[in-house]
Chains A and B, each alone.
Chain A
Amino acid sequence: MSSSNKKTQRQRKKTSFISPRRILIIAQSTVTQLVRMKVFYFLAPIAAVFVGIQFFDAPWYAGPEASQPQQELQMHKNLCLGTMMLFSSLFAIVSTALLIPRDIEDRTLYTILCKPVPRLDYLVGKLLGVMAVVFIALAVMDMILVVTLHFRTGAVLADLEPYLQKLGWPQELVDEKLDEISAHGPTMTLQYGVLAYFFKASVIAAVALLISTFSTSTLFTIASSVMIWIIGAAQNIARQGLFEQGGLAEDSGPIAKILATLVSLLFPDFQIFDSVAEAATRAADISSEQILQLGGFTFFYLAIYTVLSWFVFSDKEF
């Protein structure tokens, strides 16, 4: 110990305000913690659901005779993406809500903050750790979705092609129809939809992080985060009702208008993410610019909520 003492003293530099290396260490530790808490076990039933869908036809599916056979694939995507959204969002809330209060209760936080670790590094590290686990979970679910959808699309196409040929469709039209159906298979658009849900879960995790910095219990953090999640999902409808022609805010006073504007600024509009995922389900065109914009929007909310969390957490006493 003493032999390296002088060397160590010399190496003790000023602790930087924020350190990507320290953040990475905390994020890695968070991932390890969640993985060893066996959180990935929930992927097993989801995988079973995704694979199980393969073997069942939707009740309304009329086989190749259906006027819109792509509906079968849309429903497959709808169900799988919906499950992914639900699990990623709930997972982001619960894991974030559990981590910080548990560190405080167990006094693990004392030993971390008593090392040269700025509180901002700790918060960002925890958030990135949760985001990494959500990303891994979504990536695994996405892989299963792609594989099952590939087989499902193949089955629909295999049914449709001889049927159309039997009806006497010219090969050119048959190919066109098959291309149209293939667009509902595992495409890049579908990946954009999954990415939109990852962004959504990240913003939800940041909201839960902010709440957990001042909340006194895990239950309160989870309940409040779920409430914000619901408000965020319904915000678009509320805004339309308030501000559009004939909306409530038109008749209300300036205070109501200010309040409504504040709510729309404070609570993230989750409809933006959902609309991209819906477009992915419909196999509509999603441009890379749209995804970049969505990424920018996500980053903006992550930054806002992290800074707010830091303001609260930096003055917190333990």
Chain B
Amino acid sequence: MSDIPAVEVSGLVKDFQTSFRGPKLRAVDNVSLRIEPGEVYGMIGPNGSGKSTTMKALLGLVKPTAGTCSIFGKDSLKVDSRNDVGFLPENPYFYKHLTGAETIKFYGKLCGMRGAKLKHRIDEMLNLVGLDDARNRALKGYSKGMLQRIGLAQALVQDPRLVILDEPTAGVDPSGSREIRDLILELKNRGITVFLCSHLLEQVQEVCDRVGIINHGKMVRQGKLDDLIALEDRTEIVLENASPELLDQIHTLVDVTYGVDMISEGNPRTTLEDLFLRETKPRRTVTKKRRKRTNS
């Protein structure tokens, strides 16, 4: 891995002025994260937890109140940093008067592409997202899933090293959602860094190498997916050909029992969904439980 991270967010703080004299709302509170090149990083969190603001700060759409964001070592407030980024916003809307091919052409041209290279790229992108047949149809006639796919195509048009996806499967049917998941895995295979923000925890679990959980603007948990979902106070033993009688005395007998092999030993996993719900559980529930414990 290169020394320069694909994404580096250090101590990001973002306050919004809610009204003229009112107090400031802290949307992001001292968030730091680092994504290495080629990684797929998933950021999950409840609505209003600060995910989108973090993404916007990384894309230079909002200015951090404190802290810094960089993309491949370039300050994200500088236009240069966007040469390496493709972004798909949540529920993207493009110019509805353009056709699929014209949309990709427009974004390709904005990235400095032209001529035969751009033409080839348009064909490649439409093929990648499976919209070859709809290339000459105006976007106003596209379904939500098709819009999401054309959004992905425009995000990838300049062959970026980093792709930022904000809820890429929002409003997409299960098969469309699966196609987008496969596409993310394809990007991963091609060595493209992916920064993903999704509510579909199962999907995040399927595609992400590392995950960050953000709640009330703070990064509450972050790390490798396998480490995060491991239950450290339990041990899991996976046996092959073990009879039910052996299970009670397994630990003492396993080494001496002929024909039984220990395949692996480690921590059983919970699901990312359970971890997410536990970490983002409303505080009042925790407080109630504490009170009950104190009373008893």
Residues of A that sit less than 8 Å from B by CB: 1-2, 4-5, 8-9, 11-12, 14-15, 21-22, 25-26, 29, 32-33, 36-37, 106-108, 110-118, 315, 317-318
Contact = CB atoms under 8 A, between A and B. Distances in A.
B92 A315 contact: no
A107, A111, A118, A315: which has the most chain B beta carbons within 10 Å?
A: A111
Given A117-B110, A318-B56, 18 more contacts: A1-B156, A1-B159, A8-B159, A12-B83, A26-B110, A29-B95, A29-B106, A106-B93, A110-B92, A112-B110, A113-B59, A115-B82, A115-B111, A116-B82, A116-B83, A116-B112, A118-B79, A317-B61
B87 A111 contact: yes
B84 interface: yes
Contacts of A8: 158-159
Contacts of A22: 110
22 contacts: A1-B156, A1-B159, A8-B159, A14-B80, A25-B106, A25-B109, A29-B95, A32-B98, A36-B97, A107-B89, A107-B92, A110-B92, A111-B107, A114-B61, A114-B82, A114-B85, A114-B87, A115-B82, A115-B158, A117-B79, A117-B110, A317-B61
Contacts of B82: 15, 114-117
B124 interface: yes
Contact of A111 (B79, B151, B190): B151
A3 to B, nearest CB: 10
A115 B82 CA distance: 5
B60 interface: yes
Contacts of A37: 97
Interface centre among B63, B85, B97, B158 (most CB of A within 10 A): B97
Interface string B61-72: 111000000000
B266 interface: no
A108 B87 CA distance: 11
Contact of B97 (A12, A33, A117): A33
Nearest to B62: A317
B94 A15 contact: no
A1 B124 CA distance: 8
A265 B195 CA distance: 49
A258 B107 CA distance: 48
B110 A33 contact: no
Contacts of B91: 107
A116 B124 contact: no
Contact of A116 (B63, B80, B155, B156): B80
A115 B84 CA distance: 9
A33 B91 CA distance: 21
Given A111-B107, A115-B107, A15 B80 contact: yes
A112 B111 CA distance: 10
